[in-house]
Amino acid sequence: MSDQLSFIEQVEVIVLKNLNKDQFGVSELAEAMHMSRSNLLRRIKKQTQLSASQFIRQVRLREAMSLLQQNSHTVSEVSDLVGFGSTSYFIKCFREQYGFSPGEISKGEGPVENTIESTGFLSKYRWYIGGATAVLIAFAAVLLLSRTDAVNSPGVEKSIAVLPFKNQSADSTNIYFVNGLMESSLYNLQKIEDLRVISRTSVEKYRHSNKSIPEIAEELDVNYIVEGSGQRLGNKVLLNIQLIDVQSDQPIWVGQYNRETVDIFSLQNDIANQISSAIKAIVTPKELAQIEKKPTDNLEAYDHYLQAMDPYLSRTEEGLNKAIPLFEKAVLLDPEFALAYAHLAISYYHLDRFKNDKQYTELINNYADKALLYDSKNDISLIAKALYYMYVEEYQLAVPHLEKALEYNPNSAAVVQVLSRLYSTYLPDTAKYLKNALRGMQLEVTVSDSIAQAYIYLDLSNAFSQCGFTDLAMTYIDKTLEYDPNNYYAPHLKAFVEYAQNKNFAQLIANLETEYEKDSTRLDILKDIAKLHYYNEDYEQALGYYQGFVKAKKQYNLNIYPEEDINIAQLHKTLGNKEKASVFFQQYVEFCKKNQSVYSSVGKAAKHAYEGKIELGIQELKNFAQQDHYQYWLILFIEKDPVFKKMSLHPDYEDTIQQIKARFWQNHERLKKDLKKNELI
């Protein structure tokens, strides 16, 4: 490809060459361009203000327009020709891009004057794409003319970050009030589904930053930045605020306010409305009602609430204990202050969360119920109740509250994080875990310190690995270690991802033993080393590790990893320790009775196999083969498990195992396609 072509022109030609391939996405484009995925994303974003996926889609849609105008293909045929795997998704994207359906064009009804180009590049120069590189140079101008202006294109994402406002008050104690203005502006914008709004934790690191707006925008991957400064003078609020278009690095809206404090809520609403209007965001009537809803009519109560927010957001025990009395004063002044009740419930949840002896069960429940009573359509109220259900281990009841919270605040990083935790641990579903981890990455683009950022990448790596995306998992483990070389958990996960890639079982054990030598309190690693030796039928070594694991559980009164009891029972049974085997097996039976997860059937299969009830075990294994979204680790290790080997002579065993593996990879491919379609990978 000629060096005289611009980078974007080269990219466009590659896309056009692969136009009818619905699986041709960002990764394939990066490979064709001989670039890393991250470098490709950065350069396309810099030159077009579009993500790579949006750019590919825009090229596809422009060529679709050309084909439809020729009136020689049906909408379904055009959808296939330009690489959309789903006709319904093609129609949706086409309408979003042009404002009318592809059917209107094929019928000659579409407003042709609004189209990008009456004749598409592909239909005019198809011969030349096949290899006439020299001619490409001559038509470079045609390519440039056919491209839409990135800022005005409907395909440009309306992504925005609200930077911490600067306190201009001489009295530094007023900073909580200015912070409150920023928080409220951010919170109102988050309620608009047509926007992608970066979380508070991601922008906090820029409070005292000297970086330029373009630098901040590039790091946060947004098209718009809001910055402001303000002060409170007696009963007056002075606020200067501007919305900056990142491409031009110029303000496209500026607001200067001098209001009475009694007008604080109308000021916050006005800011949200002006910003959404300036970037042409669609605000539904339901969203507008949420934005315009007053949290309280009592300004003194609101002042206590704002004072509480800074220590509350620290999430430290000291900060929470400082915030709670202020929230309590707020609800004393306004007994119907839903937000204050919700934050009280969440504060007590965090204080009690990791303690063995729970103290605040009733308080958390009562405050969450009051929050919902006075505002059932508030996402914070719904989060508070969901956390209560998680607190009492009623995980399934938490889900509808969290899903409803996302309806009212589609940009809530807090909701996405809780859903991610639910689906990774308490209600295992690898697809939902990965989708929420990716969504969280879009909202939590960067956080205030490298250690916290490392854990965000680690969570995403874990989600990718569970779904079988080992290359992406390794990419994010490496990012984890870039931000925090001493990350506590990354080497553990990395050992398993490396095994998934190279299948070197001995190396996996050696890597884990190296990590365990660094910290012998790591029960997660100890458990895995024991299990791997057990899988390898090194029973004496496995027993030594498992004994240390069981001893530590008893010493610290821990109820963790109950699924290991079947392995320990089989280990003792093999070594002739029948009484010990019986104890661990009975514990496992009790675990199976309670297990309602996706792994319930495979757990029962192991129980039956242990008992020698092979037919029942195979039946449960067949039941499991109908499940979806289980972890990649299961299909990697299930055939190594001595308990499952007891069923290996059954005539249906091998076929059933293959069905389990095939179903995993079918889900993997569907998930991959869905993630690409929604621009999550």
**Domain 7-146 indexed as CATH 1.10.10.60:** yes
Report how far residue 276's alpha carbon sits from residue 284's, in angstroms, rounded to the nearest whole number: 11
pLDDT of residue 208: 83
CA dihedral 544, 545, 551, 557 (to 10 degrees): -160
Neighbours of 225 (CB within 10 A): 24
Strand partners, 245: 224, 250
Task: Annotate 438-461 with three-state secondary structure.
Answer: HHHHHHCCCCCCHHHHHHHHHHHH
- Measured between alpha carbons, how far is 78 from 80 in angstroms, rounded to an integer? 5
CATH code matching the domain that covers 516-674, chosen among 3.40.50, 1.10.3230, 1.25.40, 1.10.3470: 1.25.40
Residue 633 has a pLDDT of: 96
Report the CATH fold assignment for 295-408: 1.25.40
Domain ranges of the chain: 7-146, 159-281, 295-408, 411-499, 516-674
Q: CA–CA separation, 48 vs 149, rounded Å?
A: 8
CATH node for 411-499: 1.25.40.10
The SS3 of residue 213 is: helix
What is the 8-class DSSP label of residue 437? H
State the DSSP H helix or E strand holding residue 253, giving kind and residue range, or none if neither.
strand 250-260
Q: What are phi and psi of 293, to 5 degrees?
A: -70, 125
Q: How does DSSP classify residue 148?
A: P
The CATH code belonging to domain 159-281 is: 3.40.50.10070
**C-alpha 528 chain-centroid distance:** 27
- Residues of the chain under the 50 pLDDT cut: 1-3, 111-156
Q: Other CB atoms closer than 10 Å to residue 171's CB: what's the count? A: 11
Question: What local confidence, expressed as pLDDT, does residue 145 receive?
Answer: 28
pLDDT at position 198: 85
637, 681, 669, 639: which is closest to 657 by C-alpha? 639
In contact, 557 and 356? CB cutoff 8 Å: yes
- Tell me 422's DSSP state: I
**pLDDT at residue 125, as a whole number:** 32
- 643 vs 614, 620, 627, 647, CA distance in Å? 11, 14, 21, 8
What sign does the dihedral 182-188-194-199 (CA atoms) show? Answer: positive
| Helix axes 52-70 and 87-98, enclosed angle (nearest 10) | 90
User: H or E element: which one contains 57?
Assistant: helix 52-70
- Strand partners for 242: 227, 254
pLDDT digits (tens, 9 = 90+) for 380-436: 999 999 999 999 989 999 999 999 998 888 888 888 888 998 998 889 999 999 988
Contacts of residue 145, defined as CB under 8 A and 6 or more positions apart, other chains included, come to 117
In single-letter form, the type of residue at position 511 comes to N
At 121 the pLDDT is: 35
Same fold, 295-408 and 411-499: yes
Q: Determine the residue type at 114.
A: N
Rg of the Cα trace of the chain?
29
**pLDDT value of position 171:** 67
